[in-house]
Structure 1
Amino acid sequence: MAQALNATTQTLGFADRFAEFRKNLADRWARYRVYQETLAELSHLDDRDLLDLGMSRSQIRQVALEAAYGN
């Protein structure tokens, strides 16, 4: 005897979608703030301090992006 499985798709209501939107927005904002703060702090260092950290001024943007977003 064969049994049929009913796959029900669960749709999110407006409140659930809005909550997910707010969560995603808050996460994006937090990551952006990490990027901005890292960029600002590294930009204030002089070239000698950056060299002590093993980086050059041209790498500041990339380091800030990695700090905030990974990769």
Structure 2
Amino acid sequence: MTAYEKIREIIAKRALYHKTRREIEALPVDLAIEDMGLNPYDAKAIARRAVYG
């Protein structure tokens, strides 16, 4: 992998992380907790695990 490809991958993952975090934070709390089993207050950690593993 070239340096250019690595930078592109890092930027793409960062953008996906922010998108995922915003979407989780935007969920209504009752829907997120009861129906999806997600705690929107943990959006940072959930998004990090989803994107970076």
> TM over 0.5: same fold?
yes
TM-score when normalising by structure 2: 0.84
Higher relative contact order (CA 8 A, sep 6+): 2
Structure 2 unaligned segments of length 5 or more: list them: none
More helix by share: 2
Pairs aligned (count): 52
Higher alpha-carbon Rg: 1
Identity %: 21
Structure 1 unaligned segments of length 5 or more: list them: 1-18
- Runs of 4+ aligned structure 1 residues displaced above 3 Å come to none
Q: How do 1:52-63 and structure 2 match up within 5 A?
A: 52-63=35-46
CA RMSD of aligned residues (A): 1.4
Counterparts of 1:68 and 1:57, CA distance in 2: 16
TM-score when normalising by structure 1: 0.66
